Chains A and B, each alone.
Chain A
Amino acid sequence: MKVAWGLLLCLASETLVAESPSAEAIALNCLTCHAETGATHDGAIPGLTRFDQRELRQMLLDFKYGNRAATLMPRLVKGYSDDELAAVARLLAER
């Protein structure tokens, strides 16, 4: 029992969240700004359909770990675990 609680606390400590939000809950928020189309032009927020799952996941991780610069995304993805980002990349690529 002690081990289980320790594990739970350890999992929770990364983001102070009691439970992980679903990929669907996160994705709904991505789609506020990012359209489900590929069209883009200068100053437009990029759409999502031109990326596959692997590309999306890598981009999200690169934003999170400072390997890819952007005005806003690094600030947002730091709110999610790597597993959550992988799950949301999978869901968005499937749509």
Chain B
Amino acid sequence: MVVVGGGFGGATAAKTLRLLDDTIRVTLIEPKARYITCPGSNWLFAGLTDLSQLSVDYRQLQQRHGIDIVNDSVAAIERERRQVVLSSGSTLAYDRLILAPGIAMRWDAIEGYDAAAAERFPHAWQAGPQTVLLAEQLKAMRPGGSLLMVVPADPYRCPPGPYERASMMAYWLKQHNPRGKIIILDHKRSFSKQALFEAGWKQYYGYGAASSLIEWHCLADNPVLRFDANAKTVVTDFGDRFSGDVVNIIPPQTASALALNSGLADASGWCPVEALTSLSRFDPAIHVIGDAAQFAPIPKSAFAANSEAKACAMAVAALLAGREPAAPTWLNTCYSLVAPEHGISVAGVYALDEQQAVAAVKGAGGVSGDLSVEALRLESKFAGSAYRRLIDNCFS
């Protein structure tokens, strides 16, 4: 078995395969020696964490679970030969491949916002140096300045992420730049945990008042088409112009370039799969999991990638043993911090329906119900605790 991608999905798939059957030889291909997690990275904007606390490595997967770690990137998948070609030039054959390659930014979506522009105006949607740069830009913003955040339409990685980011930035502004402002330009009409975020924003950040630290504008019918870097201005379809002292554009996304180049994505840019086995609709030997795969209505989250990886590993172990794959179950839980002591969550339980498609189990899941101070404080603690457990469960 070869697993490509050492994020939450790939790491969990490799580990779970070994836990289910330690006779399965598993190789995990990941170019980075250390992985910086997107979950938790918004907390950096409020000064609650730093990159070293968000970093994990692969030593435990190697030492405790006997997974072969190959520090290289995949240049191509030769599907007919069932082998991957590494950037170093060597090849690796597989019986089955689990692909967990994550996302790519769509640089064609907003004219003027490309990979080069993102070095100066970070999206910070793949945690790392860009996250630190964006935090520095926020902290250097002039008194009373504004930060523009452009948020894409669904689907994209981490649906509640932009709003937690705005919360954490507003928390910092409240203490250090109280006349500053976060202006969210959203390509959706509504967003994840909206009522809970807005109630929290009202409580802490003056949301709804003219002096609010956060403003939210829906641009679903008037999308951002162009970015003028020199003017730090975005221009919409109707010609409206929005300027900021700091600009954080989160572009629309697709599955990673490797998935696209290997012919595993459809016109949507994401990889369709048979939910029961997570097998690609385009290749009977390749399973696709995590953000790159279409598991809607399961959101693209690290927690969901972990759950998809477990279901995938169980299906693969069954297929390798010549058994029928059993019914999967998937969970998702996403915590967001509105303030350091104010956490909210959304959860979902998913199963196959009669058409063998993924469906949310009715009556289960939903957002935080108890909005007492004590419950919200407890959920903020659970946010940190669930993060550390998730890291542990995926990487050690």
Contact = CB atoms under 8 A, between A and B. Distances in A.
Interface string B283-316: 0000000000000000000010011001100100
Contact of A21 (B329, B368, B384): B329
Q: Size class of A's contact patch?
A: 20 to 34
B170 to A, nearest CB: 23
Given A18-B352, A78-B364, A33 B326 contact: no
Given A42-B381, A45-B385, A22 B327 contact: yes
Interface in B345-379: 345, 347, 349, 351-354, 356, 359, 361-366, 368-370, 375, 378-379
Nearest to A35: B389
Nearest to B376: A71
Interface in A9-60: 12, 15-22, 24-26, 28-29, 31-35, 42-45
A72 interface: yes
B310 A15 contact: no
A15 B352 contact: no
B393 interface: yes
Q: Size class of B's contact patch?
A: 35 or more
Contacts of A72: 333, 345, 347, 379, 382
A79 B389 contact: no
Nearest to B326: A22
Given A32-B390, A35-B389, A79 B327 contact: no
B392 interface: yes
Contact of B353 (A18, A29, A42): A18
A71 B365 contact: no
Contacts of A44: 381, 385
B contact patch SS: mixed
A30 to B, nearest CB: 9
B331 interface: yes
B314 A24 contact: yes
Contacts of B368: 71
B362 A16 contact: yes
Contacts of A31: 393
Nearest to B377: A43
Contact of A32 (B356, B378, B389): B389
Interface in B106-160: none
A7 to B, nearest CB: 15
A72 to B, nearest CB: 6
A20 B384 contact: no
Nearest to A47: B389
A26 B311 CA distance: 10
Given A19-B327, A22-B327, A75 B347 contact: yes
A16 B361 contact: yes
A91 interface: no
Which 4 pairs between the two chains have the least Cβ-Cβ distance? A43-B381, A79-B349, A79-B364, A21-B329
Interface of B: 16, 303, 306-307, 310-311, 314, 326-331, 333, 345, 347, 349, 351-354, 356, 359, 361-366, 368-370, 375, 378-379, 381-382, 384-386, 389-390, 392-393
17 contacts: A15-B351, A18-B327, A18-B353, A21-B329, A25-B310, A25-B329, A28-B310, A29-B330, A29-B331, A32-B331, A33-B389, A35-B392, A42-B381, A43-B385, A44-B385, A77-B364, A80-B329
Interface of A: 12, 15-22, 24-26, 28-29, 31-35, 42-45, 69, 71-72, 74-80
